[in-house]
Every structure is written in C-alpha cells, then in structure tokens.
Amino acid sequence: MQSTGINKIDQNNVPKLTPKDVESFSFIMDHVIGSRKERRAAFIPMTGIPQFPKTREEVLVTSFFESCMCKSALSCVAGKVLMD
C-alpha cells in the first residue's frame, strides 16, 4: 500500500523512508543549517522612521552596551556613587 506522498507505508501504517527521502533531507539540511547556508543581509525593521543599516562598529558598540556584563558594571558604579 502506498500513500499519496513519496513514502511507502507498511501493513502497520508505519511510514518507511526511501533512499530518495534521505537524500532530499540531507540536501535540505545542508542548505538550511549546513555549510551551504545562504547568507542574507541583516534584518531591517520597517517600523517607525526608516533608518540606514548600522555599520560594523555601531553593531559592536550597541551589543557591548546591551550586554549583561556592561549593565552589571554600570549598576555597580552607579550604586557606589549613590552610596557615597
């Protein structure tokens, strides 16, 4: 008995993979998460005022100031200033 798709189904209604299914799966996985993954431009949100994409330096500075280490250090410094 065959299903309407590519897979064959045995007498217990369990789908059986064919070599073509495995090759297709490997092809898809290589292109989705593998070494052949297509690199795309960074996501640019289209809400509010349109902006130019950030430069590499702007991204690095933004990620530094949004990191937990930076926020923790700044809160310790601010706390020390307020306690004195």
- pLDDT band of 15, cuts 50, 70, 90: low
- Report the pLDDT value the prediction gives residue 26, as an integer from 0 to 100: 78
Residue-range domain boundaries for the chain: 1-36, 55-84
- Structure confidence by residue, pLDDT tens digits, 21-63: 777 877 777 767 777 776 666 666 667 777 778 889 999 999 9
The pTM score is 0.38
11 has pLDDT over 80: no
Does residue 15 contact residue 4 with C-beta atoms inside 8 Å? no
